[in-house]
């Protein structure tokens, strides 16, 4: 039995909406699923891909050939597009889109086909425009799922041709169902994303977080931060910087929460990191929240290829001198 819907945790409202569209035969030819990474958007898309191709049931039987092949992601009915990971800045190229669209136009095919586009916001403009033509004049019995972080990163023309559906981060209870037995602070700190949760709780993740906290302390207390170049070497490493931003966000939110609840914050932070927590607990929550907003922006800029060193220099100028 491999009915994918049965394995999905969370997203109940979205699933109900999707099921009702499916049962009322009002399924649109293209969906754009938006929301953070690693919360299950792709799993939901595959579960409904199964329903679209199943030969036995409107809501997928899980047992027929097409259902089983979708579950293994080895199905001729399932065409996938994703950014070319070998590139320095991975994008989905127009050639890849054309290849998929060409195979869709083969008339010999019978049955439904599903096109799943991971990180669809990484289509370059040419690729997006090529796809757009197909979305405007869709093939019969072909269904698209575009996945991406948020609607803002898509051309309005693409959005207007898709039914949009936004997905929320997983709640702690759902995280616990998916990955049971981890420390409570990690569930709280994961921002509802399984990839972050795993990163936070790995040995490497814990070591990195210590580094992140040491760096946060330097950020707040080093009056010669811009002159001291030592941090620049680390910050140039994008993955280090993104892990750092994530850790900083978590500690900042924990501080604000602890201030609001007048708690020590120990439930949100691992014991080994609580000493760093103590050092910034007296900064005003207003300051902390504005830095947190900036960090979210910084994360997006760095993912979009901004120079991380410049981002941190700006951030220090604007936010480090806290009173």
The helix or strand, by DSSP H or E, that contains position 34, with its residue range, turns out to be: strand 30-34
Which of 18, 30, 32, 54 touches Zn ion (CB under 5 A)? Answer: 54
Which of 30, 45, 52, 61 touches Zn ion (CB under 5 A)? Answer: 61
Beta strands in 84-189 (DSSP E): 113-117, 142-148, 163-166
Residue 140 phi, psi (nearest 5): -70, 140
Does the protein bind Zn ion through residue 114 (CB under 5 A)? no
Q: Which stretch binds Zn ion (CB under 5 A): 24-32, 46-54, 182-190, 268-276?
A: 46-54
Residue with Cβ nearer Zn ion (64 or 101)? 64
Q: Tell me how crowded residue 85 is: count the other CB atoms within 10 A of its CB.
A: 6
Residue 84 phi, psi (nearest 5): -75, 105
Q: Which stretch binds Zn ion (CB under 5 A): 16-24, 57-65, 79-87, 117-125?
A: 57-65
Shortest separation between residue 54's beta carbon and Zn ion, angstroms:
3
Residue with Cβ nearer Zn ion (1 or 88)? 1
Beta strands in 133-277 (DSSP E): 142-148, 163-166
Residue 195 phi, psi (nearest 5): -65, -40
Residue with Cβ nearer Zn ion (63 or 293)? 63
Shortest separation between residue 22's beta carbon and Zn ion, angstroms:
13
Does the protein bind Zn ion through residue 64 (CB under 5 A)? yes
**Angle CA(95)–CA(119)–CA(200) in degrees, nearest 5?**
140
Residue with Cβ nearer Zn ion (54 or 96)? 54
Which of 6, 17, 20, 56 touches Zn ion (CB under 5 A)? Answer: 56
Q: Which stretch binds Zn ion (CB under 5 A): 24-32, 63-71, 157-165, 234-242?
A: 63-71
Q: How far apart are CA 259 and CA 89, in angstroms?
A: 40
Q: How far apart are CA 98 and CA 75, in angstroms?
A: 19
What is the contact surface with Zn ion in residues (CB under 5 A)? Answer: 54, 56, 61, 64, 67
């Amino acid at each position: 039995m491999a009915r994918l819907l049965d394995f999905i945790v969370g997203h109940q409202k979205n699933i109900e909406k999707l099921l009702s569209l499916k049962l009322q035969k009002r399924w649109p030819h293209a969906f754009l699923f938006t929301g953070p990474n690693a919360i299950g958007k792709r799993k939901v898309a595959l579960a409904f891909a199964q329903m679209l191709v199943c030969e036995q049931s409107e809501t997928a039987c899980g047992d027929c050939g097409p259902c089983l092949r979708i579950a293994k992601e080895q199905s001729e009915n399932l065409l996938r597009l994703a950014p070319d990971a070998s590139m320095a800045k991975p994008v989905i190229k127009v050639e890849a889109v054309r290849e998929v669209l060409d195979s869709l136009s083969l008339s010999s095919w019978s049955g439904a086909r599903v096109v799943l586009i991971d990180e669809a916001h990484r289509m370059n403009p040419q690729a997006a425009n090529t796809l757009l033509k197909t979305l405007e004049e869709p093939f019969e019995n072909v269904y698209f799922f575009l996945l991406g972080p948020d609607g803002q990163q898509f051309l309005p023309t693409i959005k207007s041709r898709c039914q949009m559906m936004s997905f929320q981060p997983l709640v702690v209870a759902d995280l616990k169902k998916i990955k049971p037995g981890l420390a409570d602070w990690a569930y709280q700190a994961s921002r509802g994303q399984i990839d972050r949760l795993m990163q936070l709780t790995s040995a490497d993740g814990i070591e990195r977080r210590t580094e992140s906290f040491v760096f946060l302390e330097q950020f707040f207390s080093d009056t010669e931060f811009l002159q001291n170049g030592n941090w620049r070497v680390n910050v140039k490493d994008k993955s280090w910087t993104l892990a750092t931003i994530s850790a900083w966000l978590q500690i900042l939110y924990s501080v604000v929460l602890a201030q609001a609840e007048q708690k020590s914050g120990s439930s949100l932070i691992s014991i080994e990191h609580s000493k760093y927590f103590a050092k910034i607990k007296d900064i005003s929550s207003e300051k902390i929240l504005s830095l947190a907003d900036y960090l979210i922006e910084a994360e997006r800029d760095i993912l979009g290829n901004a120079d991380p060193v410049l981002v941190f220099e700006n951030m220090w100028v604007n936010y480090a001198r806290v009173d």
